[in-house]
Every structure is written in C-alpha cells, then in structure tokens.
Amino acid sequence: MDMKKMMKQAQKMQRDAAAAQQEIAAMTFEASAGGGMVKATATGEMAIIDIVIDPAAVDPEDVDMLQDMVVAAVNEALRSANEAANARMNAVMGGMKIPGLM
C-alpha cells in the first residue's frame, strides 16, 4: 500500500473521529425510572445536566425508594450515552480500537 495514501486515510479517519466526538458531546440522553417519576438527562460527555422529580415521588417515609429511582435514572441515561458514543465511534473507526479515542 502507498505510504501517502495510508497517511491520507489516517488523516481522514482522525478528522472523522474528531467530528464524531463533537457530535457525541452535543447529544443528550434522557432516561426515567419509577414509571416516569424520576427523569435524568445526560450529555454525550457523560455529565448529568438535569434531574426532574415528580412531586408525587417525594414521600418522606420512603426516601430510599426515591434515591433508588434517581440512581436508576442516572445510570440508564449514562448507559445510553455510552452506548451511543461507542456505536458512533465504531462507525467512524470501522471497529478499530485506538487508545485515547474511545
């Protein structure tokens, strides 16, 4: 294989990967728990940006259940963000694993 061609392909892959990372960072992922009583929103950068709790979910006698719902919603939002990021990067990289990119 021609070295110039290989370098051009590597540069294109690098540009595509950078663009994909920007796309992922701009994405948001919402998940809910407790039948929609708790909703969490995460970014593609794995940051929680919003948590919404239905007032009906607030029971001073059962704080543990509310905490469990918050944890479940947050974990699901982050899982969704992670799966989408991995899928997008795999599409760009053709399944190649390059340290530091994923």
In tens, the pLDDT along 23-58 reads: 999 999 999 999 999 999 999 999 999 999 999 999
Q: What's the pLDDT band for 102 if we cut at 50, 70, 90?
A: very low
Amino acid 95: pLDDT: 63
Rounded CA gap, 11 and 4, in Å?
11
- Return the number of other C-beta atoms located less than 10 Å from residue 81's C-beta: 23
Cα 96 to chain centroid, rounded: 20
**Which residues, other chains included, contact 39 with Cβ-Cβ below 8 Å and sequence gap of 6+?**
30, 31, 32, 50, 51, 52, 73
Give the residue extent of every domain in the chain: 23-92
Q: What's the pLDDT band for 80 if we cut at 50, 70, 90?
A: very high
Q: Are 27 and 81 in contact (CB under 8 A)?
A: yes
pTM of the model: 0.76
Domain 23-92 has CATH 3.30.1310.10: yes
Amino acid 68: pLDDT: 96
Pick the more confident residue, 93 or 1.
93
